[in-house]
């Protein structure tokens, strides 16, 4: 029986998304499952991955013998060559060999890479960046992720640490970022950065439709969409600020890389990407070399929540 199916996962701090692809790269089964929040052991997260994969195989009706490979994207610094999670900010993994137990359990190859790297790879192979050779990707979510395709290959740099331009310092006197630096792109333009701005304005007595949404931390993207639809002043300011710094960062990356295309993905872009792209396009020319800007396209990602899943599939196909 042909090994026709690939099982791909997007592993987050609180949930796992899964998809089974057939030989035509069509998704034949999906699953979303929450992981336990806070304090879980390495083994527990590993068991979540195993249980999700087992559940998907069983519920989809495919036979284990038909499985070709399993692949996953996860946050953090990941040695893609050896399948070792070197560090992950939201998962309890340090220098953790995740590949060996998964391959032992299922008897098929297992691939793993940084989630945003795979998200950009997915867009490069199957989405908005298909057909280009040099790609800069910004993924705007709770944090700010980056991924690079250079000369048609995913660029991971020394010790798989490249692409962290969410921590490009744009204002040394700016707000404190979780990484310890001040004025990072992430501190301005991520959901964390926008939530902090909104919280600051509300503390000064200003009214905002998102006041309740940021009480427990960061807002959900749909709350931002609703606030912008109401033309809420504070939410609009937060987005204007976020897009300003994204435009500055985009200009820096254009001048540095001279890419064919810059793509914007992640949960925020999926919710309000047209607004973000319009505001970035209105500013970005100020921060680019005039001779480089006309050769670069700026566009939103096309695969939505599936970017990382398709990137995981691409990792399998690239071997």
pLDDT band at 10 (very low <50, low <70, confident <90, very high): very high
Domain identity same for 86 and 153: no
Domain identity same for 154 and 204: yes
User: What pLDDT is attached to residue 41?
Assistant: 56
Domain identity same for 37 and 153: no
Segment 26-71, tens digit of pLDDT: 999 999 887 655 445 555 667 878 889 999 999 999 999 999 999 9
Segment 144-195, tens digit of pLDDT: 999 999 999 999 999 999 999 999 999 999 999 988 999 999 999 999 999 9
Is the confidence at residue 305, as pLDDT, over 70? yes
Q: In this structure, is residue 212 part of a structural domain?
A: yes
User: What pLDDT is attached to residue 1?
Assistant: 54
User: How far is Cα 124 from Cα 313, in angstroms, rounded to an integer?
Assistant: 12
Q: What is the CATH number of the domain that holds 152?
A: 3.30.420.40
Domain identity same for 144 and 277: yes
User: What pLDDT is attached to residue 46?
Assistant: 78
Q: Which domain holds residue 133?
A: 128-302
Is the confidence at residue 272, as pLDDT, over 60? yes
Segment 80-139, tens digit of pLDDT: 989 998 987 766 778 989 899 999 999 999 999 999 999 999 999 999 999 999 999 999
Segment 199-245, tens digit of pLDDT: 999 999 999 999 999 987 889 999 999 999 999 999 999 999 999 99
What tokens were used for 185?
């792109």
8 A C-beta contact, residue 46 and residue 99? no
Domain identity same for 86 and 167: no
User: What pLDDT is attached to residue 42?
Assistant: 57
Domain identity same for 92 and 149: no
Q: Is 114 helix (H, G, I), strand (E, B) or coil?
A: strand
Specify the number of domains making up the chain: 2
Domain identity same for 107 and 135: no
User: How far is Cα 21 from Cα 68, in angstroms, rounded to an integer?
Assistant: 10
Q: In this structure, is residue 122 part of a structural domain?
A: no
Helix, strand, coil shares of the chain, percent, nearest 5, are 45, 25, 35
Domain identity same for 173 and 77: no
């Amino acid at each position: 029986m042909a090994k026709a199916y690939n099982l791909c996962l997007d592993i987050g701090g609180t949930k796992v998304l899964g998809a089974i692809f057939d030989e035509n790269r069509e998704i034949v089964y999906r699953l979303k499952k929450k992981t336990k929040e806070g304090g879980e052991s390495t083994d527990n997260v590993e068991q979540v991955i195993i249980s999700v994969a087992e559940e998907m195989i069983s519920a989809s009706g495919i036979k284990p013998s038909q499985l070709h490979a399993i692949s996953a994207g996860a946050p953090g610094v990941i040695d893609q060559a050896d399948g070792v999670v070197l560090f992950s900010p939201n998962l309890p993994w340090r220098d953790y060999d995740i590949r060996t137990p998964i391959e032992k359990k299922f008897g098929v190859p297992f691939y793993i890479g940084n989630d945003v790297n795979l998200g950009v790879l997915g867009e490069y192979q199957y989405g908005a960046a298909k057909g280009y050779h040099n790609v800069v990707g910004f993924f705007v979510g709770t944090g700010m992720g980056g991924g690079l395709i250079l000369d048609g290959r995913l660029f991971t740099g020394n010790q798989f640490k490249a692409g962290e331009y969410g921590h490009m310092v744009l204002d040394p006197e700016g707000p404190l970022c979780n990484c310890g630096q001040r004025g990072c792109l992430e501190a301005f333009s991520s959901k964390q950065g926008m939530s902090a701005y909104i919280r600051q304005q509300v503390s000064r007595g200003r009214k905002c439709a998102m006041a309740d949404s940021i009480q427990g931390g960061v807002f959900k993207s749909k709350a931002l969409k609703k606030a912008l639809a109401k033309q809420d002043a504070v939410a609009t300011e937060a987005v204007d600020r976020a897009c300003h710094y994204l435009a500055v960062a985009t200009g820096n990356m254009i001048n540095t890389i001279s890419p064919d295309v810059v793509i914007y993905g992640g949960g925020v872009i999926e919710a309000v990407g047209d607004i973000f792209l319009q505001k970035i396009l209105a500013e970005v020319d100020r921060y680019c070399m005039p001779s480089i800007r006309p050769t670069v396209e700026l566009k939103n990602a096309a695969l939505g929540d599936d970017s990382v899943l398709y990137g995981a599939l691409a990792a399998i196909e690239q071997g």
